[in-house]
Amino acid sequence: MTRPNVLTLRRWRELDPAEQARIMGRATATILDPKLLAQIGEIYADVAARGDQAVADATAKWDKATIRADQLLVSQAAIDEAHATIDPALLEAIRVAIAQVRAFNEAQLAASPDWRRETRPGVVVGERHHPIPSAGLFVPCGKGSFPSVLVMIGVPALVAGVKEIIVVVPPVPGSDRVDPGVLATARELGITRILRANGPAGIAAVVLGTETIGRVAKVVGPGSPAVIAAQVLAQLHGVGTNMLCGPSESLVLADDSADIVRLTADLLNEAEHGADSAALLVTDSLKVVEAVDAEMARQIAALPEERAAYARSALSELGGAFLFDTIDEATAFAGDYAPEHLQIATRDPEATMTRLTYAGEVLLGQNSPVSAANFVIGVPATLPTGGFARINGGVTARTFMTTASVASLTEDGLRSLAPATLALADHEGFPAHANALRIRGMG
């Protein structure tokens, strides 16, 4: 490939198994590193022992923000001030995003209501759904300002009907302030409890509970490896989470019909998030790779240096161009990789999607960029990373719901199932199970 070589080019079949495993594993090894987990475990232990003061101390140590233990919760006055002074254009954009995300989640719940069905005479089964009682929502701050994250995880929680919501957000680097865009978004959503704290310590606070912070049932939100490690450890304390949400990753599956300028811009979308992000161009066309590489040099030069540095890393260390012999092989790889964001830039995106397996989201065609999905389309933007799209989906209203199965049997219905019930109970050695039917005169 000719210079400037912004994209690292890899021919997948020529990579040794260790390099293939590294690419497939992306940043997961960092998140699950025993040293990091041990360090986060120490923060948990400190919060368990010292409560609010431990959270304040961790925020001073790691975020260089001096916040007293009795000031961890943002005041209503500060929330109101942020809302009153924010750029009107930004506030309108937040409202558009809220409306779109609300529409998606309301439609999702409408499509999966409580249900009942008779599976045989006298046997009725079904499901009922109920919101979880409380949720902790983590919104990152450091590499950028993320009111959109609060929209993406706050609206689903509200649509689901969660009664108690607390937002955890680190202060703006070098200050004790919370990003005003996040505060204004919280006010639009009617969320009043906002904990400004170091990420892992704040998550530990809502997982364990402190003097002023109530314990939640589930904690979700994207973040750094340390933040995601804190969510992994939350499960040891009986608090649920949505595995894993970070660092960012995207994959664009393209053939030679793709518009190169748009393709390049869409690759840069997630690449600018951080040095540990992964941005992959997956294709069967060397000409596409060479054209994107040349265009990438132009587009990346227009970015601020910090974002450009992030993008170069995301397009080389864990990402870049991956070349396959056929588009079918490229499509199979895309599904095996199970990316957070997957955009299809082929002649027939719908047909290509039918051959895919796993992805956090699938964006069809070059009029559906990740940037629009991240902010205002309405589909989830807090999505599983690290290959967890194979077993998990994005944060939606369902994330904040429990599902209980329901059954109702008539006497005749139970009698029809008695022989099978008794046979299994006797075989597995549970006489009380069998007696529950025999005392009813069944068997």
User: Do 346 and 356 meet the contact criterion of CB atoms below 8 Å apart?
Assistant: no
d(CA 282, CA 320): 9
User: Do 83 and 192 meet the contact criterion of CB atoms below 8 Å apart?
Assistant: no
The greatest distance separating any two alpha carbons of the chain, rounded to the nearest whole angstrom, comes to 83
User: Do 45 and 207 meet the contact criterion of CB atoms below 8 Å apart?
Assistant: no
d(CA 76, CA 347): 52
Q: Which residue is catalytic, options 130, 340, 361, 428?
A: 340
340 is catalytic: yes
d(CA 361, CA 339): 8
Cα 285 to Cα 257, 292, 295, 341: the distances in Å are 10, 11, 16, 21
The two three-digit tokens of residue 319, written as one number: 């990402």
User: Do 255 and 171 meet the contact criterion of CB atoms below 8 Å apart?
Assistant: no
Give the burial string for 322-331 (b: 16+ CB within 10 Å, else e).
bbbeebeebb
d(CA 364, CA 352): 9
User: Do 259 and 366 meet the contact criterion of CB atoms below 8 Å apart?
Assistant: yes
The two three-digit tokens of residue 157, written as one number: 């929680």
Which stretches within 51-143 are classed as H helix?
52-63, 76-85, 88-111
Nearest to 423 by CA among 413, 434, 411: 434
d(CA 144, CA 270): 13
Instruction: Enumerate residues 6+ apart whose C-beta is below 8 A from 56.
Output: 67, 68, 69, 71, 72, 197
350 is catalytic: no
| DSSP assigned state of 219 | E
Instruction: Enumerate residues 6+ apart whose C-beta is below 8 A from 15.
Output: 23
Nearest to 380 by CA among 188, 135, 154: 154
d(CA 206, CA 223): 16
d(CA 13, CA 323): 9
Q: Which residue is catalytic, options 270, 273, 341, 361?
A: 341
The catalytic residue positions are 340-341
